[in-house]
Amino acid sequence: MTPVAASIADGNGGSVGKARHVAIIMDGNGRWAKKRMMPRAFGHKRGVDTVREIARAARDMGLEALTLYAFSSENWKRPADEISDLMGMLRTFIRSDLEEFVANNVRLRIIGDYQALAPDIVEMIEDAMARTAANDGTTLAIALNYGSQQEIARAASRAAEKGAITPEAIEAELDTACLPPLDLLIRTSGEIRLSNFLLWQAAYAEMWFTDVLWPDFKPAHLAEALAQFIARERRFGGR
Ligand code: IPE
Ligand code: IPE
Ligand code: MG
């Protein structure tokens, strides 16, 4: 039973306390670079440094799961050279950081249709997931070629193959089925929209928006978001 269901069943309807699962829409790399009159790739590179720093912080803060939106199914609309820069950085990141995940009990998961990426990336991802599968510390889920509407459609058709299409049946087929329920959704860079990210999972998630651009996002910002999360009263429709 999910904490959402549990709190309804218990009739307490209140906050479930500490955040277990935080997701971040990592936005603003391009604007960060532009402000410095640098190419967008420079912003993405600094964005990868932030990923590393925030993943470490999430682990130190005891989060069960951190989900990061790295590449959306709509990001294919970008110019080919930017896509190729992003894919190159993904390769470099997996190569440079996998040993740290293995050593620190971090389990790496991917959400989204990653199998449509270049074959060498698919191979690297599958190797990284296999090597960290037994880790039971923080789960770092990276959303790659991810679109929430597509995910829900895939989940619904799998649910239909098995039987009735109920919310529970769909939820069990989502890419996030291996993660705790989403507690807090953060978006950087001042945009107040979801951009096709975790639409289903955000049904009762708390949201936190900041103007800080992703390359400037620090563990202190994550800590601030978590402190505000704890102070909020979650009702899940109860009272
Ligand atoms: C977020 O930064 C990273 C990705 C979407 C891959 P952007 O590249 O969207 O940066 P802005 O929004 O143009 O500043
Ligand atoms: C969302 O950011 C996707 C990622 C952060 C990977 P975008 O920059 O693509 O979103 P829009 O286009 O501003 O909505
Ligand atoms: Mg953007």
138: closest CA among 30, 27, 55, 46?
55
Q: What is the mean pLDDT of residues 132-143?
A: 97
Give the percent of the chain with pLDDT over 70.
Answer: 93
Ligand 2 and 72: CB distance under 6 A? yes
Q: Is residue 175 part of a domain?
A: no
In a domain, 212, yes or no: yes
- 38-85 pLDDT per residue, tens: 999 999 999 999 999 999 999 999 999 999 999 999 999 999 999 999
Structure tokens at 34: 């532009």
- Tell me the per-residue pLDDT of 96-107, one tens digit each, with 9 for 90 and over: 999 999 999 999
> How many helices and strands, by DSSP H and E, does the chain display?
8, 6
Cα–Cα dist 96/3, whole Å: 36
In a domain, 161, yes or no: no
- How many angstroms does the Cα of residue 79 sit away from the middle of ligand 3? 14
Residue 202 in this model has a pLDDT that exceeds 80:
yes
Q: 3-state class of 145 per DSSP?
A: strand
What is the dihedral angle through the alpha carbons of 83, 86, 88, 92, rounded to the nearest 10 degrees? -170
User: What's 29's domain CATH number?
Assistant: 3.40.1180.10
Average the pLDDT over 143-155 and give the result. 98
| Atom of ligand 2 minimally distant from the CA of 25 | 5
What is the model's pLDDT at position 234? Answer: 94
Q: How far is CA 3 from CA 21, 30, 91, 190, 226, in A?
A: 12, 37, 36, 30, 18
Structure tokens at 156: 């619904």
How far apart, in whole angstroms, are the C-alpha atoms of residue 13 and residue 16?
9
Which ligand 2 atom lies nearest to the CA of residue 191?
13
On the 0-12 / 13-18 / 19+ scale of CB atoms within 10 A, 16 is middle
* Per-residue pLDDT, 13: 39
Q: Is residue 154 part of a domain?
A: no
Share of the chain above pLDDT 90, in %: 92
Q: Where are the beta strands (DSSP E) in the chain?
A: 21-25, 65-72, 107-111, 139-146, 184-187, 206-209
Burial 60-95 (b: 16+ CB within 10 A, else e): ebebbbbbbbbbbbebeebeeeeeebbbebbeebbe
Q: Is residue 162 part of a domain?
A: no
- Whole-angstrom distance, CA of residue 87 vs CA of residue 62: 29
Average pLDDT, integer, range 120-134: 98
Is 220 domain-assigned?
Answer: yes
Residue 4 has pLDDT above 80, yes or no: no
Q: Is the pLDDT of residue 10 over 90?
A: no
As a whole number, mean pLDDT of residues 196-222 equals 98
Cα-to-centroid distance, 144 and ligand 2 (Å): 12
Q: What is the pTM assigned to this prediction? A: 0.94
- Per-residue pLDDT, averaged over 112-141, amounts to 98
Q: Which of 70, 92, 88 minimizes the C-alpha distance to 80? A: 88
Give the per-residue pLDDT at 239.
86
Closest to 159 in 3D by CA, of 168, 151, 169, 149: 169
Average pLDDT over residues 143-160: 98
**Within a domain: 170:** no
Q: Which residues surround ligand 3, an ion (CB under 5 A)?
A: 27
Domain count of the fold of the chain: 1
The residues carrying an active-site annotation are 27, 75
Q: Is residue 236 domain-resident?
A: no
pLDDT tens, position by position, 16-29: 479 999 999 999 99
Average pLDDT, integer, range 146-167: 98
Alpha-carbon gap, residue 68 to 23, rounded angstroms: 6
Mean pLDDT estimate for the chain: 93
| Residue 31 alpha carbon, nearest atom of ligand 1 | 14
What pLDDT does residue 175 have?
98
Can you give the residue range of the structural domain that contains 101? Answer: 3-10+17-147+181-231
